[in-house]
Structure 1
Amino acid sequence: MALSFPAGRAGTKDGTSGGAGDGSEGGTLRKNGTPRDSAPLRRKKNRARLRTVGFLSPWLIGFSVFFAYPLIATVYFSFMHYNQIKSPTFVGLKNWKYVFTQMPLFGPSLWNTLWLVVVMVALRVVFGLGIGLLVTKIKSGVGIFRTIFYLPYLAPPVAATVAFVFLLNPSTGPVNELLGHLGIDAPTWFNDPHWSKPSLVMLSLWGIGDLMVIFMAALLDVPKEQYEAAELDGANAISKFRYVTWPSITPIVMFAVVTGVVQTMQYYTQALVAGKLASGVNIGPGSVIQPGYPDHSTITVPQLVYSMGFQNFNTGAACVLSLVLFAIAMAVTLLLMRKSTGLLTED
């Protein structure tokens, strides 16, 4: 039987018709056979895109001004000789070569920073989780204990460091006096290169209130029905923590570890103030502070960035140090967020 086509509905080579009844509003098809968007539909989609961009504009502006532009400028100045007075001049990889091969304090500062990241972050997470578990188990006086553990976190970093250095003063500090009465040979804390970094870790554990609150909220959010089911199966306290508590708070642990790594990579104030107070140097207007006392054991990469950029006016080397710090922080964060590390598990 011969096929006939109505007027205006002529057949095409691929067997599809090109009229209004082909399923497309514009009457045309793309090469893959899908209908083209009509003009009204395109205008509607464009309005939706503009509306989305409008809602995202505060974030886009903040990202561009406070992250993208500073990062690009840092990369740019890392290849320049710039003393913040004369115009920058291109020097290629000289700043990078100087930092990695000729800067004497780069190695100690990087080692101290990584040491603090590994030890301080790990102990803060363990202590914060432990205190959170302790507070959630207390039956009476919970508000008092929460306040006691959280108050040190509210102290300003400089004031808290000054108080801690006074407590650990090897000559007049109450901690060493107490240890002396007990017959214990007390260390010199911030005046000893072997004890200076552990002393900074103790200072960070003293202000553990922020992690305590976060973990306490996560622990209270674990369904009680799961604990009751575990008890019916004969699970002890360790088994309940392993199979009930830990899977529920894993995302919070990941948050605490990642934010702790980022914060410790920027560790500056406490180490600088503790080193200067322990050395006996007065910190006043116009004084030039050389960080790292004792024996460069407390110098960190952020301190070296400030010293190179704002004391020695070597902006290029300071930018190289900043990029190294940024790269390490990104690498550690990506490593932690991989599912194969064990912190993140498949659903």
Structure 2
Amino acid sequence: MRRQLLFTGFNAFGQHKSSKNSDRTSGRCVALTEIQLPANATDNWIVALSWRYTAYATGSKLWLMGLLDAAPCEQLEVEAPSAIKSLAACDTHCLVLLQNGELYKLPAKLDGKLQQLKLEVPQVAQKRSIFGIAKTNPNLITHIACGSYINVAISAANMVYSLPSCLHQFPQHPWRVQQLECGQEHALLLNGNGDVYSWGNGLRGQLGQVTLGVEETPQLIEALAGIKITHIAAGGWHSAAISAFGDLYTWGLNSNGQLGMRVMKPDGILKEPTVYPLPQLHDLPACCAASADDDDGESADQCEPVKVIAGSRHTMLMHSCGRLWATGWSAHGQLGKEPKKPAYVDAFGAVYDKASDSKYHVICGPWATLLVLSK
């Protein structure tokens, strides 16, 4: 299987290698452009985006590319103790989770070295087999995410860490963590029941709670209780979720249209930046990938949102047909469009049609978007 990377957005520090992107004046790609993996990288790789560098991993090797110390196009290569499972990147460092459940931090510097994180581990009751053998190691980390001011990990025992301290423990049965996402200052967690929890700084409404404030521990988003959520996203200061019925909800800061909602004054002039503390249900237009000759609109109904991904101030929405929609800030081309004044859009519009022979997933950095195609 051949993989292809298509990138659009901020690239002033050479964090993405592309023969077509040599414009150091603007430092951006304004259309999806193919980029290259680091030398010696195989197809089985992992990627995470920060605004000033990109982290790649394959096997036990890890690369950071971009502005690390003083100049663009710097590169750091390190070897992890064993195979890497996942990465999470922020301005100052990259979190590295190994397949064996060990967690490391790599400072985003040319002389950076992997530092194993020792977590506070409270005593927990372990599940054991009929022979008295522990079924799982409660100290193993299963999920990681980070932002500029928040670093989160989840263990096999459903313990929530604000690294390195333990904040909270969810019940182990039948509770399962499905997804963990971080914005700049907040975190979202989705469990197997479809419930969404949030914590961190919620002064811009990104926690989805009635009261704007700071939550020290995970709190259920009551406004979504009873709605089975299947996918979540945490942007810089906004959040989004998709339900099992294909409904899209967004909340938080809408300074650049990242919630996909137009807010107009009676005279037709766009209002000032607005905060929406509670999840807002979207009335999305029919996906234009649906069959135009289907009079009853059945195909349009079947083409529903399945995934939502968020950058600092932009949001991407993937439909079941493979078409990608976008809304929000595009000053660096992160929506795949040439920036105009104002440099944002405030409603979802289609930006990418999936090739018929390709599968892909989307990764958003703070000011960038990356499509990973498998052919």
TM-score tier (shorter): under 0.3
Higher fraction of helix: 1
| TM-score, length basis structure 1 | 0.22
| TM-score, length basis structure 2 | 0.21
Higher RCO structure (Cα 8 Å, ≥6 apart): 1
Q: Which has the larger radius of gyration?
A: 1
